[in-house]
């Protein structure tokens, strides 16, 4: 069965499940997106790796990667290989002494590992057909149009709540030194969501 390569294109709050997040995977060379609802801890683990932050203490996925590296096991790729009753399933495809080893995994954990190893992410056509969406990007939001009814029960959108807008305004009024201090404080408190927002503001200024 032919595998479809994916990239992580967005990570946001879940619209329908307030305490969860949605990671959005994009089809390489295509317009389809695959939104998957994940928990807050897993979203944090993905965000930390994507932002290349270094926690004071290793997170669970960092520990697992260090363990694999210690035993000379390399993560070659991850495959989102099934969708049953709205639940995505994934496998870690590892290489040890030339032997391919596949390990069953929650999709959120598999994605957190893929970001750390910078390895390919794949799925199959039947999963994209069942749960894929077509996203139309705008400056302020990502609006999802279902290709078929998504079994995840959510559409990824960037939240524009007043709380976040107020926080963004506060960050924009701070100096670079203050932002650097805030970033270090957020990392020391292991508040990675806040750290990511500060890092985004710092990167925005650098790009101007």
| pLDDT tens, residue order, the chain (208 aa) | 889 999 999 887 755 555 678 898 999 999 899 989 898 888 888 988 888 887 778 889 999 999 999 999 999 999 999 999 889 999 999 999 999 999 999 999 999 999 999 999 999 999 999 998 876 553 333 333 333 323 333 333 333 444 444 454 577 888 888 888 887 776 666 565 676 677 777 777 877 7
Question: 5 forms bridges with which residues in the sheet?
Answer: 122
Q: What is the pLDDT of residue 122?
A: 98
Run of H or E residues at 122: strand 121-124
**Please, which residues bridge with residue 170 across strands?**
none
* Locus of tokens 């295509």: 30
**Sign of the four-CA dihedral 135, 19, 48, 120:** negative
Distance CA(70)–CA(183), nearest Å, equals 31
Can you read off the two tokens belonging to residue 37?
Answer: 């609802």
CA–CA gap between residue 113 and residue 126 (Å, rounded): 24
Q: Is residue 40 a contact partner of residue 19, using CB atoms and an 8 Å limit?
A: yes
């Amino acid at each position: 069965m032919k595998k479809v390569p994916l990239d992580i294109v967005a990570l946001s709050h879940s619209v329908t499940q307030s305490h969860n997040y949605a990671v959005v995977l994009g089809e390489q060379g295509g317009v389809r997106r695959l939104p998957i609802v994940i928990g807050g801890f897993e979203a944090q683990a993905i965000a930390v790796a994507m932002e290349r932050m270094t926690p004071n203490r290793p997170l669970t996925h960092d520990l697992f990667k260090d363990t694999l590296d210690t035993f000379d096991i390399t993560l070659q790729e991850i495959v989102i290989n099934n969708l049953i009753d709205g639940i995505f399933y994934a496998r870690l495809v590892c290489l040890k002494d030339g032997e391919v080893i596949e390990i069953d995994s929650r999709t959120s954990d598999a994605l957190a590992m893929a970001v750390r190893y910078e390895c390919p992410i794949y799925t199959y056509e039947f999963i994209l057909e069942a749960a894929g969406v077509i996203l139309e990007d705008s400056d302020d939001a990502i609006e999802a149009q279902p290709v078929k009814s998504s079994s995840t029960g959510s559409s990824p959108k960037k939240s524009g709540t007043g709380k976040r807008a107020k926080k963004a305004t506060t960050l924009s009024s701070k100096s670079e030194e203050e932002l650097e201090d805030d970033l270090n404080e957020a990392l020391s408190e292991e508040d990675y969501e806040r750290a990511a927002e500060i890092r985004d503001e710092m990167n925005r200024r650098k790009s101007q």
